[in-house]
């Protein structure tokens, strides 16, 4: 049985009409030997969008985020971020791209265990350009860790570690925040704290692409993209109470917005 894609290009089109796309993925393919992790994925991301990237395990979400963040290379296709084609960048340009345009937040936090919270944030400044301790302190204060500056990661809770990671991701004012299941290792209380930070970031105009399995977290996003076996199977601005309208793959939706339960407009032939 083939999966019917529930693709709503109008979702991105709506925002794309307002602002030029910040990210353009075109026919992205990634193969690991004989395994095709991404199979011709195409979509745009407008500046200021919060996208929840969803899908079952092994669907290619992390691969997509890795390629978008310059951590991995695509087998074919193209990825442009702010009109910069990143699949053609050499290693040193990729390093600059990661340092200047991307903020990563990982499920495993990936803090350096022998550096304090403050030093972990300053490490991103160090690799970007120059360290500024007061700015790093300010970033940690913003995520509520003013009293944890000199703590080693081992002495911080999971939520606190993730907040340090967020402060580190934001310290260089990146254009795009890529978060790979940022609340996956957190309890409910810490999850709420972290999601609140992302809400604030979204409000302040940051573009966020967040991998998540959690529907409740995905509800916070302005748009939802689903991958299945490397294929884009859903791209919608509908919320979870609404049903995206089923359309044959490649057929555009009417430009009136997401397909809701109330929306009876048919797909264009």
Partner 1 sequence: MPNLASKNRSMFRRLVRRLLFANRGRLFVVLLALSAGAAVSAALLNLQVDAKRRISSEVRSFGANILVLPRSSGASLDATMPETTESQLRSPLDARLSVHSGMFLYAIADAAPNVPLKFSPVVVVGYSGYLPGSAPLDSLLRRAELQMGKTGSVVGATCIVGQTMAARLNVHFGNQVFLRNGDRQMACVLTDILKTGDAEDSQIFLSLSNVQQLSNASGRISVIQINAFGSSKEIEQYAMQLQKDLPDDDVRPLRQFTEAQAKIYSRISGLLTAATATILILTALCVMAAMTNIAAERKHDVGMMKAIGGSARGILNLFLTEAVLLGLIGGLIGAAAGIALSVALGKAVFGVAALPRLIVYPISVTLTIIVAILGAYPLRRLANVRPATIFRGEV
- Of 52, 180, 171, residue with least CA distance to 109: 180
- Between 124 and 247, CB nearer to partner 1: 124
Q: Does 150 bind partner 1 (CB under 8 A)?
A: no
Q: Does 73 bind partner 1 (CB under 8 A)?
A: yes
Minimum CB distance to partner 1, residue 237 (Å): 29
- Between 84 and 261, CB nearer to partner 1: 84
CA atoms within 13 Å, Cβ hemisphere of 52: 24
Cβ contacts of residue 1 below 8 Å, gap of 6+? Answer: none
DSSP annotation of 87 reads G
- Between 16 and 67, CB nearer to partner 1: 67
Q: Phi and psi for 4 in degrees, rounded to 5?
A: -80, 120
Minimum CB distance to partner 1, residue 128 (Å): 5
- Which x/- pattern over 197-236 shows residues binding partner 1 (rule: CB under 8 A)? ----------------------------------------
- Between 115 and 193, CB nearer to partner 1: 115
Q: Does 249 bind partner 1 (CB under 8 A)?
A: no
Stretch in the footprint of partner 1 (CB under 8 A) among 2-10, 75-83, 123-131, 227-235: 123-131
Alpha-carbon span 11 to 44, nearest angstrom: 10
Alpha-carbon span 117 to 259, nearest angstrom: 45
Alpha-carbon span 59 to 79, nearest angstrom: 19
Alpha-carbon span 94 to 91, nearest angstrom: 5
Q: Does 91 bind partner 1 (CB under 8 A)?
A: yes
- Structural contact between residues 246 and 8, judged by C-beta atoms closer than 8 angstroms: no
Alpha-carbon span 106 to 109, nearest angstrom: 5
- Residue whose token pair is 């089109």: 13
- Which x/- pattern over 94-113 shows residues binding partner 1 (rule: CB under 8 A)? -xx-xxx---x-x-x-xxxx
Radius of gyration of the chain (CA): 19
Question: Binding residue for partner 1 (CB under 8 A) from 10, 162, 172, 190?
Answer: 172
Question: Binding residue for partner 1 (CB under 8 A) from 8, 12, 59, 66?
Answer: 66
Positions in the binding site for partner 1 (CB under 8 A): 63, 66, 69, 71-73, 91-92, 95-96, 98-100, 104, 106, 108, 110-115, 119, 122-132, 168-169, 172
């Amino acid at each position: 049985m083939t999966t019917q894609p529930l693709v709503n290009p109008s979702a991105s089109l709506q925002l794309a009409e307002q602002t030029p796309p910040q990210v353009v993925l075109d026919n992205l393919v990634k193969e690991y030997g004989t395994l095709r992790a991404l199979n011709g994925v195409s979509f745009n991301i407008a500046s200021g969008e919060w996208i929840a990237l969803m899908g079952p395990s092994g669907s290619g979400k992390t691969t997509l985020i890795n390629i978008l963040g310059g951590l991995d290379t695509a087998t074919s296709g193209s990825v442009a971020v702010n009109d910069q084609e990143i699949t053609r960048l050499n290693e040193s340009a990729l390093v600059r791209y990661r340092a200047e345009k991307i903020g990563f937040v990982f499920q495993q936090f990936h803090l350096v265990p022998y550096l304090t919270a403050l030093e972990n944030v300053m490490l991103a400044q160090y690799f970007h350009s120059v360290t500024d301790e007061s700015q790093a302190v300010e970033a940690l204060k913003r995520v509520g860790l003013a009293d944890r500056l000199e703590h080693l990661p081992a002495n911080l809770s999971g939520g606190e570690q993730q907040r340090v990671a967020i402060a580190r991701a934001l310290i260089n004012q990146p254009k795009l925040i890529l978060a790979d299941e940022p609340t996956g290792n957190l309890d409910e209380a810490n999850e709420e704290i972290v999601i609140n930070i992302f809400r604030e970031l979204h409000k302040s105009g940051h573009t966020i692409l967040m991998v998540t399995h959690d529907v409740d977290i995905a509800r916070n996003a302005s748009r939802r993209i689903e991958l299945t076996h490397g294929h884009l199977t859903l791209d919608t601005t509908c919320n979870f109470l609404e049903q995206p309208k089923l359309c044959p793959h490649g057929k555009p939706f009417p430009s009136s917005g997401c397909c809701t339960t109330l929306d009876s407009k048919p797909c264009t032939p």
